[in-house]
Structures are given as C-alpha cells and as structure tokens.
Structure 1
Amino acid sequence: MEKQKVLDRIKSSMMVLVGIGTEISEKHHTREELLAFYQEIAGAVKGKFYFVVTLNTDDLIYEAGFDPSLIVAPCGSDRTGNVITNGHYDESGYLPQWKAYQTWLGNTLNRELVILELGVGFEYPSVLRFPDEKMTFFNQKSTLVRIHSEFPQIPKEIRERSLSVTADPVDFWSK
C-alpha cells in the first residue's frame, strides 16, 4: 500500500527529483536486483520532468533507461577511476552536470515537486539529505519521500508534507 501511495504522489506531481544513496549498492544487492530497481524507478518517472542525483559510483544508473543528461554523480565514476574516495579525486568531471542540476532545481520553485530520496543516509548529507529537507521546507508544493532502512526520519517542520518509510529501497520497490 505504501508503494502505491508513493506512485500516486509521483503521478500527481509535475517534477520529480530522485536522490540515490549508498544503501543502493552491490554491497547490499546483486547487480541484477539493482538494475531491476533502477528500471522500476525510471518507469515511475517516465513522462515527468525529473533529475537524478546519485551518490553511487558504480555507473549502473546509466544502464537503466534514464536520460543520461538528467543524471549527476558528484561522487565520481568507477569506469573512469575518478571517485571521491581516492586521493586524487577531480571534481571537475561532474561540475557541468551539477550546473545543469542547479538550473533544473531553480525551475522547481513553487511547482509540484516530489523529492524521492532512496537509500540516502549520512554519507554525504550536504549533497542530498539536508538540501532535500531545505527544498521541502521552502517549496510548499513539494513532498519529500524518504525510504531508508535505518534513517527514514523526517524533521518535524516538514512532516506534514513528507512520507517516511523504514525499508530497504530496493526491497520496497520489488514488492
């Protein structure tokens, strides 16, 4: 029932921001499960004005049917070997996409927006988690959907316009 509630919110929104956290990784799931999950999300946002921000570096998101011009991966890419965890990380690789994302965000003001936060914990909270809460607070037409197995908490200031689900996001979407 909760999944249908999330799908209904996406369907009734004008725009969707998809935030992918590190809980969605091969550390927790098989490659096949992750691809099926990403394809399910891509199907859910099809026809919407969307953007995807992923904290993962595995590049699987690019194989799932999302428009690559609507994805930004600020933590890098395993394919290029340029990832945030290595000592010589060069952030200039993602900056053009980050600029596109910032432009897209500017267009969400005062519009019906669903922020679909999937598996986003506290690894890089200044990239997704905290900005998502801030966007939800200031855009009164937005809804935050936070799905995480350990950290689904929502600040009280935005609870009325949020949905918190305690679940592994991949398992949640496979039901």
Structure 2
Amino acid sequence: MKCIKKMNDFVLGILMILLSAFLVFGKITETEVKTGQGGFLVRSDVWLRMMGVFLVIVAVILIIRSFGKKEGEEAEGFHFYLDSTVVAVIVSLIVYALALPKVGFMITTFLMCLYLVILFSVKEQSLTFRTVPKALWGKLLVKGVLSAAVMLAVFWFIFGKLLSVQFPTFSLFG
C-alpha cells in the first residue's frame, strides 16, 4: 500500500472499526432495565452502542489521516511493541473487570484510577517502580488519590445522579 503514510494508524483504525461493530451489533448486555426506572438512556446497551458509533467516527478519521503520502516522503511501516506498561494496563483492566461485580464500582474504580495515575506518572518521568525515589512516592500518592477521587466523583455525579445508573455494589459476602 504505497499511498499509506502511517501504517500503525491505518491498522489501528481497522481494529477500531471491528471493535465498534462488535459494540454496535453484538449482544453483550441485556436490553431491558430490570427495574424499569430511568428510561431509555439508562440501558447499558444504548451507551455501548453510542460508544461504538463514536469509535467508528474516530476510526474513519484516523484511517483518512493515515493516507496522504507525498512523493519522496518516507512512509512509516507497521511496528508493534509490547512493553511492561502495556502489559500492566491490560492485566489491571482484566482484574478490574473481574473485581467490579464483587467489590463494587466505588472501590474498584477508585483503586483502578489510583493505580493508573501512579503508573503513568512514573512512566512520564522515565522511571520504573523500582527506581522511584522514596521522596517522590508521597507526591505520587497524593496526586493519585486526588485524581482518583475527582474522577470517581465525576463518574458518580454524571452516571449515578444525572442518569440514574445503578452501579455494582459491594457483594463479596452476599
């Protein structure tokens, strides 16, 4: 494909379209709210389908931007790398998805946000968890706790209060 300037963007766009097709057309949630409260926008399938539509729009833009190689310009080939940060995020998302129904939305989301803020703060400073100076840990924890608390409050207000979405609650022993 000689007209593609950025092969990674092109491949990512195709993968995003496939994921959005799964979100839009797949049967991944129940389509009826069990309590009948809140109306159409409370249904989880509506939000997943809306995310799928937004995802396909962004994917098309990404694919269009990946084209446009000018004559004599060097094209970026496809390259994929899997570093420890990518693996850590994937593992944390799997743990989050497994813990969410048992531990509840508030605790798991707070811990997930805290972990991701600290992870990316450490990466941003070109450090690893082993090489973070002890003096920096306090700042990272404060930044992480504040960021996670703000994000959780925003999620709770938008989805819990404005849209009346029922969050999973703590049910480890029940």
TM range (shorter): under 0.3
Specify which structure has the higher proportion of strand: 1
Specify which structure has the higher proportion of helix: 2
Structure whose alpha-carbon radius of gyration is higher: 2
* TM-score with structure 2 setting the length: 0.24
